[in-house]
Structure 1
Amino acid sequence: MYSALASQGVAVPNGFAVTADAYREALSRDGVADKLHRLLDGIDKSKIRQLAGKAAKAREVIYKAMDTPLLREQIVEAYRQLEREAGIGVAVAVRSSATAEDLPTASFAGQHESFLNVRGPKDLFEACRRCFASIFTDRAISYRIDNGFDHFKVALSVAVMKMIRSDLAASGVVFTLDTETGFRDVVFVTGCYGLGETIVQGQVDPDEFYVHKPTLSQGFRRVLRRRLGAKQIRMIYGKRGSSHATSTRNVPDAERQKFCISDAEVLSLAEIAVRIEAHYSKHAGVSMPMDIEWAKEGVDGKLYIIQARPETVASQRSSDFYETYNLKGHGPVIVNGRAVGEKIASGRTRRISTARDLAAFRPGEILVAPATSPDWEPVMKIAAGIITDKGGRTCHAAIVARELGIPAVVGATHATEKIKSGTDVTICCAEGDMAASIRGRLPSTLPGRQ
């Protein structure tokens, strides 16, 4: 991304990559591949304990295999070069990227590990090894099986990028289409205070902005629509060490009542996003809507792009037809939130607070949680719908719900307090931006495709 976009005037933090060749080399020696085949061949992902046990052993195999003097030397030297440019002990983000990741039809969202605020060569090498090992997280193994990917034909690389001090400012996500309808003439921007992981993890309700592409290209710089989010917490740099690299703080009420970035910054992000979309579309030979992460530097206020990948759900819909769902009935509304998708679903609720609660989940239930985690995806795949206390349309719960084709209500404040397990509810996302969780199972119709 740095080599492709920096030359076009898009600000991208410098860094380096540990290529997938390093991973492939590790598999080719010391019987590593044979050990992995014995663990993974014929694995049944429905047997959760077996999957967890074999996945942990597979990660340990890769973690050990990546510990070579040559790789350590190369990573340390690359980091020293970055220190010469950015200062001793420069903080970096360490992100995994699989060769099958971010394809036009499969996002692999959250399947592999990333680490923030990593400092020093020792901690960096450790983070890189853990990234490589994360190719065999339980959820990544399950995802590859569900999507027909061969475990041994997918490799993993690691990107190391200088951290932007967005902990002192703001960050967020940009889509170059509307995530719910697939409408391609808008740029959808979300933002929050601090590091953007809180948006992705669904820990905050972000600010939202829409910009109209055609009028923007004609020089009319206006934000089409804006919505103030609650922005409950801010993620900041923590103490040194992998377990305390980041921490969260409550955002004062006065700041929550303000948008985290200005209209001028929204428009700048929209222009950058359109430029990125044009670049990757030209490279692909087809229109390529993008999913982009941005960060604002707290020291000088500059906007940076820290990730760009193809959007994998709304852009794949056929433009030849659309589906319309209608709710046939009324009932008391329990909670409201942001609509994800345009469908309606009914079912019995199951409240999930921690991973320990997942074993009780049954197919066809409505998952109710403060937020979702990538580790929950085997359960999300059998849910009829999802309701979360927090989060916006670019959080993990929203992305996975779209990919699975199920409705979700995100940012439904106090949902886990108001909805107990075993409650019959109907999720309605068919009536605009806002969705409702309604008590009882109400009938609905799908008139057909138009």
Structure 2
Amino acid sequence: MNSEYAVRLDGHVDAAQVGVKAARLAELAGEGIRVPEGFAVTADAYGEFVREARLGPVIARSVRRFRAGRDLVVAAAEIRSAFRDASLPETVVDDILKAYQALGGDSTEVVVRCSPVTSADAVRDDVFLHLTTGADVIAACRRCFASLFGAVAVGNREAEGIDHLRVVMPVTVQRMVRSDLGSSGTARGESTFVRVRASWGLGQPSAAHADLYSVHPGARPMIVKHRGAKRTKTVYAGLRGTRTIPTTAAERAGLVLTDDDLRELARWSVIADKHFRRPTALEWAKDGCSGELVVVEVRPAVPAIVTIQACRRTALEVQYR
């Protein structure tokens, strides 16, 4: 399926072409860790779009007007509007649609998101959810390209002296993970154990209310579980939004993850640390329809500076396996 403009995320890929987040996920997939199936629309696709649609002069003109005193928000909006109104080149469209067809084509639910080349890029992380047609995927890719010219991103590049015509924006397209019907959280290695945080619904749960687990690998793995309050959860609301709703009594009383889930997450955490040769933090999600665990993002771990007090935990269970 791989082409100049669409690259499958299932092994080693060029981060300069697919973005740092997508490249990390692809590398983990190559290590046997489960990530959502998908592909990247490459930096070359972005460059071809800018050339074919003659957006370079539009960018240069709007930047000159900003430097001459025009409001930054207005100048940036002018560029984004030109991106959204332009048509993608046929060669780029064909490659994207072929890659989407390889995922299942129309009626296959996917998420489309920006994939900056470096984690330091000050680009709004636009995300388009529940897309089910090739036309929707194409439109979302064009809007992700346009997000490279948000006011903050333009202002930062101006301050740092970066050429606006040399930056690029890859895009990631992946199957939707229905963690709104399941659960999500984080996993990270800390010395001799893996710390897992979990809650129902979407996003990164707060330590104050999430389930907290410690998994100590070894011949006789030990799992320590602390049940959190989990009073609310975040679910999808429309194509791009989310909303927070109360959890059910059963969700509040139960534990989010099984022992098998925890052992799998701990194994993935160890593999990721070894692969990247540094401590990493995994963001994971569990699909409420398939029951499948997947890693949706990996990033360098930030040292923990806060210890959760035992008195704030609502339950404790220690199991030896």
> What's the TM-score once normalised by structure 1's chain length?
0.55
- CA offset at residue 155 of structure 1? 1.2
CA contact (8 A) 1:191 1:206 kept: no
Matched, 1:2 2:20: no
Matched, 1:134 2:147: yes
Counterpart-to-counterpart distance in 1, 2:150 and 2:136: 21
- CA offset at residue 99 of structure 1? 1.2
Q: CA RMSD, aligned part only?
A: 3.4
> What is residue 55 of structure 2 aligned with on the other side?
32
Q: How does 1:186-335 map to 2 (within 5 A)?
A: 186-196=193-203, 199=204, 207-211=210-214, 215-216=216-217, 218-224=218-224, 226=226, 228-236=228-236, 242=239, 248-281=244-277, 287=278, 289-311=279-301, 314=302
Counterpart-to-counterpart distance in 2, 1:26 and 1:10: 33
Sequence identity percentage: 30
Q: Match for 2:233: what amino acid?
A: I
Counterpart-to-counterpart distance in 2, 1:228 and 1:70: 51
> What is residue 337 of structure 1 aligned with on the other side?
none
- Deviation track 1:115-148 (CA, whole Å, cap 9, x = no partner) reads 1211111211111111111112233334555677
> What is residue 19 of structure 1 aligned with on the other side?
42
- Deviation track 1:58-91 (CA, whole Å, cap 9, x = no partner) reads 212332345333322322222222116xxx5011
- CA offset at residue 268 of structure 1? 1.9
CA contact (8 A) 1:20 1:156 kept: yes
Distance 1:115 1:185, change over 3 A: farther
The answer for unaligned runs of 5 or more in structure 1 is 178-183, 282-286, 316-339, 343-431, 435-450
> What is residue 325 of structure 1 aligned with on the other side?
none
Tell me, what secondary structure is at the counterpart of 1:223?
strand
- CA offset at residue 162 of structure 1? 0.8
Counterpart-to-counterpart distance in 2, 1:160 and 1:290: 23
Distance 1:126 1:248, change over 3 A: farther
- CA offset at residue 23 of structure 1? 1.0
Distance 1:229 1:65, change over 3 A: farther
Distance 1:80 1:280, change over 3 A: same
Matched, 1:54 2:82: no
> What is residue 319 of structure 2 aligned with on the other side?
none
> What is residue 380 of structure 1 aligned with on the other side?
none
CA contact (8 A) 1:188 1:208 kept: no
Q: How does 1:178-193 map to 2 (within 5 A)?
A: 186-193=193-200
Tell me, what secondary structure is at the counterpart of 1:154?
coil
Counterpart-to-counterpart distance in 1, 2:164 and 2:193: 37
> What is residue 98 of structure 1 aligned with on the other side?
116
CA contact (8 A) 1:193 1:233 kept: yes
> What is residue 138 of structure 2 aligned with on the other side?
125
Distance 1:127 1:258, change over 3 A: same
Matched, 1:173 2:186: yes
The answer for unaligned runs of 5 or more in structure 2 is 1-8, 12-26, 310-321
Counterpart-to-counterpart distance in 2, 1:189 and 1:307: 15
Q: Match for 1:259: what amino acid?
A: L
Distance 1:134 1:231, change over 3 A: farther
- Deviation track 1:187-222 (CA, whole Å, cap 9, x = no partner) reads 3432222233xx38x8x965253536xx42x33422
Distance 1:131 1:276, change over 3 A: same
Q: How does 1:373-388 map to 2 (within 5 A)?
A: none
Q: Match for 1:74: what amino acid?
A: D
CA contact (8 A) 1:59 1:134 kept: yes
Q: Match for 2:264: what amino acid?
A: S
Q: How does 1:336-375 map to 2 (within 5 A)?
A: none
Counterpart-to-counterpart distance in 1, 2:298 and 2:260: 21
CA contact (8 A) 1:192 1:231 kept: no
Q: Match for 1:16: what amino acid?
A: F
Q: Match for 2:83: what amino acid?
A: I
Counterpart-to-counterpart distance in 2, 1:107 and 1:277: 24
Question: Comparing both chains, which one has the higher relative contact order based on Cα–Cα distances under 8 Å and sequence gaps of 6 or more?
Answer: 2
> What's the TM-score once normalised by structure 2's chain length?
0.74
- Deviation track 1:26-50 (CA, whole Å, cap 9, x = no partner) reads 2334542232123235958xx9x92
Tell me, what secondary structure is at the counterpart of 2:171?
strand
> What is residue 68 of structure 1 aligned with on the other side?
89
